[in-house]
Amino acid sequence: MALYLVQHGLSLSKDQDPEQGLTETGIDEVKLIAQVAKGYQVVVGTIFHSEKKR
């Protein structure tokens, strides 16, 4: 079993978005880590996350 800890991408400030969704850069960061994981053939069994939008 392997455990991977991944932080969310860059989020908007509370002034810009009270729910602090991801910026365009943050979305690109998440896509990049997904591509890297795919390249390593990481199989995801379970994802644990907070209830935050980002």
What is the distance between the alpha carbons of residues 30 and 17, in angstroms, rounded to a whole number? Answer: 19
Residue 42 lies in a domain: yes
Contact 26, 16 (CB under 8 A): no
Nearest to 2 by CA among 34, 40, 29: 40
Q: Residue 4 domain-assigned? A: no
Please give the tally of structural domains in the chain. 1
Residue 25 belongs to a domain = yes
Model confidence over 18-43: pLDDT tens digits?
999 999 999 999 999 999 999 999 99
Q: Is residue 53 part of a domain?
A: no
Residue 37 lies in a domain: yes
54 pLDDT above the threshold of 80? no
SS3 category, 28: helix
Per-residue confidence (pLDDT) for residue 15, from 0 to 100: 96
